[in-house]
Amino acid sequence: MNANSCPPTPASCLLSPDSFLLNPSLLAADFAYLERDIRFLELAGAKILHLDIMDGHFVPNLSFGVPVVEAVRRTTELPLDVHLMLQNPEPYLPIFRKAGADFLSVHIETTPDPRPMLDTIRKLGAVPGLVSNPPTPVESVLPFVNDCDLILTMSVMPGFGGQSFNPIALEKIRRIREIADADKFISVDGGVGEETIASAAAAGANLFVVGTALLGHSDILARFQLLQQRAKRRLE
Ligand code: DX5
Ligand code: ZN
């Protein structure tokens, strides 16, 4: 990622894909105490937050929308990674960018050619990401890997937190890692926890979305450290 790719979002440019970053998913936070949970995550060392936007069409669930992204933006200076699970994401790109998104990811299943949306995201000053669901062949995303800065492989069918990790994601991550430039964020989302994070890291992931395995526990700080250590263990 060079300085020109996201000039209005210096915080996200400071992130380095060389290291293993946990990406806490606020879907698993306590919404009655969202600011408290964000403070715990900051204290634990989070460098980025993941926000799941669901439309009830692309996925069979609704989560939260623009006002919550705006509220989180007011609460923290951490970069916000907004995962759009929307059947028609294109009109919402400037809206979520204005609400405070630093990273914006769209699903390959919503368009035969994601390049125009990835270009729009870049022009808006955000970091463009491309997501694929477990049944979607990796060949669908490979042609676009170097048109975006973040490639997210789902290890569950999107729509709900707390599901089990599907290892089908691992081979997809390996194939993406093989052709992706070194400065890409190779991300994984769904069922990532102490039992699965090391295999995702070994496959080549460097950005780990973690919901239940982190925020589903009372001691967020200890869980954060444990998960980070497990991710790094692939180096031993
Ligand atoms: C699922 C979302 C995930 C979710 C992950 O549709 O994209 O980001 O929050 O939650 P866990 O880590 O509980 O599987
Ligand atoms: Zn997500």
Average pLDDT over residues 179-204: 96
What is the chain's mean pLDDT, rounded?
A: 93
In the reported structure, the alpha carbon of residue 59 is separated from the centroid of ligand 1 by a whole-number distance in angstroms of 12
Residue 19's pLDDT is 78
CA dist list (Å): 30 to 38, 132, 148, 190, 208: 10, 27, 32, 18, 20
**Ligand 1, pocket-test mutation among 52, 62, 63, 207, most atoms within 8 A of CB:** 52
54 in ligand 1 pocket by Cβ < 6 Å?
Answer: no
Flag whether pLDDT at 67 surpasses 90: yes
Position 18 confidence tier, pLDDT thresholds 50, 70, 90: low
Return the DSSP state at 62: B
Residue 3's pLDDT is 37
Point out the catalytic residue in the list 37, 52, 102, 149. 52
Residue 13's pLDDT is 54
Cα–Cα distance measured from residue 218 to residue 235, given in angstroms and rounded to the nearest whole number: 29
Flag whether pLDDT at 193 surpasses 70: yes
Residue 142's pLDDT is 98
Position 103 confidence tier, pLDDT thresholds 50, 70, 90: very high
User: Cβ(224)–Cβ(41) under 8 Å?
Assistant: yes
Closest Cα to atom 4 of ligand 1: 161
Cα–Cα distance measured from residue 230 to residue 200, given in angstroms and rounded to the nearest whole number: 10
Cα–Cα distance measured from residue 26 to residue 50, given in angstroms and rounded to the nearest whole number: 6
pTM, full prediction? 0.94
Determine what percent of the chain is predicted with pLDDT higher than 90: 89
Question: For this structure, is 52 an active site residue?
Answer: yes
Q: Which of 194, 188, 189 is nearest to 213 (CA)?
A: 194
Flag whether pLDDT at 10 surpasses 70: no
Cα–Cα distance measured from residue 151 to residue 186, given in angstroms and rounded to the nearest whole number: 5
Flag whether pLDDT at 12 surpasses 80: no
Tokens encoding 37: 């949970």
Residue 6's pLDDT is 39
Cα–Cα distance measured from residue 43 to residue 37, given in angstroms and rounded to the nearest whole number: 10
User: Cβ(211)–Cβ(24) under 8 Å?
Assistant: yes
Question: For this structure, is 55 an active site residue?
Answer: no
Residue 7's pLDDT is 44
83 in ligand 1 pocket by Cβ < 6 Å?
Answer: yes
Flag whether pLDDT at 149 surpasses 50: yes
Point out the catalytic residue in the list 81, 102, 149, 189. 189
